[in-house]
Amino acid sequence: MKQIEFIKSVYKIKDLPKNDLQHVILCGRSNVGKSTFINKLFGKKKIALTSSAPGKTRSLNFYLAENKFYIVDLPGFGYAKIAKKERETWERLIQDYLKIDKNISLAFHLIDSRHKPTTLDRLLNGYLRELNIPYIVLMNKIDKLNQSEFAKSKKNIMNVFDELLLGENFLPYSSVTGKGKKEVENILNKLFLV
Ligand code: GTP
Ligand code: MG
């Protein structure tokens, strides 16, 4: 993937793009590495804002990729330390977007490989399934794990989500080492014939 361009930040459903382009969304808990994923996949250091403190992304951020499809960076679900009201506003916006928008062709659900999937991961998985949005779980930040931790984490995630098949809808990933990047590029190429 080479080309990416920031299009807009959406705070209200009525401001969603109105065209036929397909959307690929990045979702998952706050701080799991969604914005970093976009930067590293396209080799642009700072196109998506990232932070070591959770809660950086606060709107649905639309990027046009390869002039063919949107990549959408979503705010992290369930970040507890911001005002409840603001959090509820984001969560409603994300839920409404998932429900209303018919152009979402794929979701990458990022899970932090250092932690077991949380209630929020189950909730998000439930939404995606209920809404028939195809998804791929990325077990992210695997550069932080040794071999036995890796095996344990993989098992934990597959125990919680028993529909996952390694190498198909479940990929180990690291934006630091580039592990999994080729697989993701292949998936996007297949979908959009980039
Ligand atoms: P929100 O916008 O709060 O939802 O967070 P986010 O999911 O967009 O996370 P972000 O990309 O801002 O990354 C959070 C932190 O994790 C940053 O310090 C990143 O450098 C770090 N990070 C992201 N991906 C990886 C990875 O694959 N490995 C390691 N070691 N760190 C990562
Ligand atoms: Mg972010």
Contact 82 CB / ligand 1 (< 6 Å): no
Sequence-distant (6+) residues with CB within 8 A of 120 are: 29, 77, 78
Statement: residue 80 has pLDDT above 70: no
Which mutation among 9, 27, 31 tests ligand 1's pocket best, with the greatest number of atoms within 8 A of CB? 31
**Residue nearest atom 5 of ligand 1, based on CA coordinates:** 31
Q: Could you tell me the two tokens for 64?
A: 């046009």
Closest-lying ligand to the alpha carbon of 78? 1
Contact 144 CB / ligand 1 (< 6 Å): yes
Contact 36 CB / ligand 1 (< 6 Å): yes
**pLDDT class of 79 with cuts at 50, 70, 90:** low
Closest-lying ligand to the alpha carbon of 38? 1
Statement: residue 83 has pLDDT above 90: no
Q: What digits encode the pLDDT tens for the residues 96-148?
A: 999 999 999 999 999 999 999 998 899 999 999 999 999 999 999 999 999 99
Q: Is 49 helix (H, G, I), strand (E, B) or coil?
A: coil
- Chain-centre distance for alpha carbon 113: 14
Give the chain's length: 194
35-46 average pLDDT score: 92
State the helix-helix crossing angle for 181-192 and 34-42, rounded to 10 degrees: 80
Statement: residue 18 has pLDDT above 90: yes
Report the pLDDT value the prediction gives residue 46, as an integer from 0 to 100.
Answer: 84
Whole-number CA gyration radius for the chain: 16
Report the pLDDT value the prediction gives residue 87, as an integer from 0 to 100.
Answer: 75
